Chains A and B, each alone.
Chain A
Amino acid sequence: DGGITQSPKYLFRKEGQNVTLSCEQNLNHDAMYWYRQDPGQGLRLIYYSQIVNDFQKGDIAEGYSVSREKKESFPLTVTSAQKNPTAFYLCASSTIYEQFFGPGTRLTVL
Chain B
Amino acid sequence: GQQLNQSPQSMFIQEGEDVSMNCTSSSIFNTWLWYKQDPGEGPVLLIALYKAGELTSNGRLTAQFGITRKDSFLNISASIPSDVGIYFCAGPPNYGGSQGNLIFGKGTKLSVKP
Contacts and interface: CB of A to CB of B under 8 A. Distances in A.
Q: Specify whether A and B are partners.
A: yes
Interface string B87-112: 01010100000111110111100000
Main secondary structure of the interface of A (DSSP, over half): strand
A92 B50 CA distance: 21
Which of B48, B88, B101 has most A Cβ within 10 Å?
A: B101
Interface residues of A, number: 27
A36 to B, nearest CB: 12
A42 B106 contact: yes
B101 A48 contact: yes
Of the four ranges (under 10, 10 to 19, 20 to 34, 35 or more), the interface on chain B belongs to 20 to 34
Contacts of B42: 4, 6, 90, 92, 101-104
Interface string A1-44: 00010100000000000000000000000110100000001110
18 contacts: A6-B42, A42-B88, A42-B104, A43-B88, A48-B101, A50-B99, A88-B40, A95-B100, A96-B99, A96-B100, A97-B100, A98-B33, A98-B45, A98-B48, A100-B45, A101-B43, A101-B44, A104-B41
